[in-house]
Amino acid sequence: MVSMKDIAQRCGVSVATVSKALNGQPDIGEETRSRIEQTAKEMGYMTNAAARALKTNRTYNLGVLLVDERRSGLDHEYFSSLLESFKVEAENHGYDITFINHNVGGRPTSYLQHCLYRGVDGVVVACIDFNDPQVQELAESRLPMVTIDHAFSNRLAVMSDNTSGLETLVHYVYQKGHRKIAFLHGEKTTVTHNRLTGFRQACEKLGLKIPEEYIRECVYHDPNRCAEATRELLALPDRPTCIIFPDDYSYIGGLNAITEAGLRIPEDISAVGYDGIHLARLLRLTTYSQNAQHLGRIAAERLIQLIEHPKITQPARILVPGGLLEGSSVKEIKAE
């Protein structure tokens, strides 16, 4: 196994200089640091994790808390893409990741206790009930933490711009001539609140008066509940000409309900999704594509900054925009 002494001999410097270079200490020249780092890489040097932890008071391990009631987090393309991007960025900075849960060795424990047991330097939290007392406990602790699509006071949050996303979709549908626009949204979360805000803001700007029966609650990533809500919309005496669905995956339920009613998309009724997953492209569904990869990368960067430079990293809410992905599911009609 390659040691610091081996690197020192190859570079013609002292072991102390090698140690300073590999541990990011500032009192050596950049040229020397770069030469040592390159030599260490070429020689296949690997820092001993235990030794590094003793020197830096860090484990270089990030916790990931990603779970919801339907256990769909890792099956959800948006979150899996986000997590993969987070993982890659963390590894680029020399960090590993550990999944956090509420048991250790089969014994129940809190999320915070699990983080402390694993010795993680910080934790990213996504796709969870943020009102859960265990999540609240984690947010109130001193552990560095970044949340995805939810903001706690005095905590760093990275959020998809859901308000702007819904505004973009409503304006697009409006330009296609639609005035009877229904919105099926997910359960009560920060994401839902922001999307409802975007929907209502866009309608107000455009002078649209949307009946309350056009706005219905569903569940994210649940085609069955989405199908049920779609049937209710289709049964209305004055049904909508376009439906905005909670997400691209849930749209499958809406599509089934529309087909069962003997209707076609977009000939008889138009449809719009949200997320921009691969399935939407296959179905040629018009949707709003969230930038999951950018979200994951920013979350990792900011969490590592918070760990390594706590005194100069301030709590903030970072909005990440997405973009319209135009398919063939919205028919252009004559505005009434």
Q: What is the pLDDT along the chain (336 residues), one digit of tens a residue?
A: 778 888 999 999 998 898 888 877 777 888 898 899 899 888 887 665 545 554 556 789 999 998 765 555 566 788 889 999 999 999 998 899 999 987 777 778 899 999 988 899 999 999 888 989 999 999 999 999 999 999 998 899 999 999 999 999 999 999 999 999 999 999 999 999 999 999 999 999 999 999 999 999 999 999 999 999 999 999 999 999 999 999 999 999 999 999 999 999 999 999 999 999 999 999 999 999 999 999 999 999 999 999 999 888 888 899 999 999 999 999 999 887
And the tokens for 181?
């626009």
Is 335 part of any domain? Answer: no
And the tokens for 201?
């803001």
Q: How many whole angstroms from its chain centre is CA 289?
A: 12
Q: Verify that 107 and 199 share a domain, yes or no.
A: no
Q: Verify that 169 and 134 share a domain, yes or no.
A: no
Is residue 60 within 8 A of residue 49, CB to CB? The reply is: yes
Q: Residue 76: what pLDDT? A: 78
Residue 176 CB-half CA count within 13 A: 24
Cα gap 21→37, rounded to integer Å: 7
Q: Verify that 156 and 296 share a domain, yes or no.
A: yes
Cα gap 221→235, rounded to integer Å: 23
Phi first, then psi: what are they for 218, rounded to 5°?
A: -120, -155
Element containing residue 146 per DSSP (H, E): strand 145-148
Is 204 part of any domain? Answer: yes
CATH for 32: 1.10.260.40
Is 332 part of any domain? Answer: no
Query: Do β-strands 96-99 and 61-66 pair in parallel, antiparallel, or remain unpaired?
Result: parallel
Q: Which domain holds residue 21?
A: 4-46
CATH for 264: 3.40.50.2300
Is 202 part of any domain? Answer: yes
Q: Verify that 70 and 156 share a domain, yes or no.
A: yes
Q: Verify that 179 and 297 share a domain, yes or no.
A: no
Q: Verify that 279 and 177 share a domain, yes or no.
A: yes
pTM of this prediction? 0.81
Q: Verify that 128 and 275 share a domain, yes or no.
A: no
Is residue 287 within 8 A of residue 259, CB to CB? The reply is: no
- Return the number of other C-beta atoms located less than 10 Å from residue 305's C-beta: 17
Is 325 part of any domain? Answer: no
Q: Residue 255: what pLDDT? A: 98
Is 41 part of any domain? Answer: yes
243-258: b (≥16 Cβ within 10 Å) or e: bbbbbbbbbbbbbbbb
Is 51 part of any domain? Answer: no
Is 330 part of any domain? Answer: no
Is residue 181 within 8 A of residue 240, CB to CB? The reply is: yes
Q: Verify that 29 and 83 share a domain, yes or no.
A: no
Cα gap 13→10, rounded to integer Å: 8
Sorted by sequence, the CB contacts under 8 Å of residue 271 that are 6+ apart come out as 242, 243, 245, 251, 254, 255, 258, 265, 285, 286, 329, 330
Cα gap 76→144, rounded to integer Å: 26
And the tokens for 199?
């929907």
Is residue 182 within 8 A of residue 211, CB to CB? The reply is: no
Domain count, the chain: 3
Q: Verify that 253 and 239 share a domain, yes or no.
A: yes
State the greatest distance between any 2 C-alpha atoms of the chain, in Å, as a whole number.
Answer: 84
- Return the number of other C-beta atoms located less than 10 Å from residue 265's C-beta: 22
Q: Verify that 233 and 314 share a domain, yes or no.
A: no
Q: Verify that 296 and 279 share a domain, yes or no.
A: no
Q: Verify that 217 and 271 share a domain, yes or no.
A: yes
Q: Residue 321: what pLDDT? A: 95
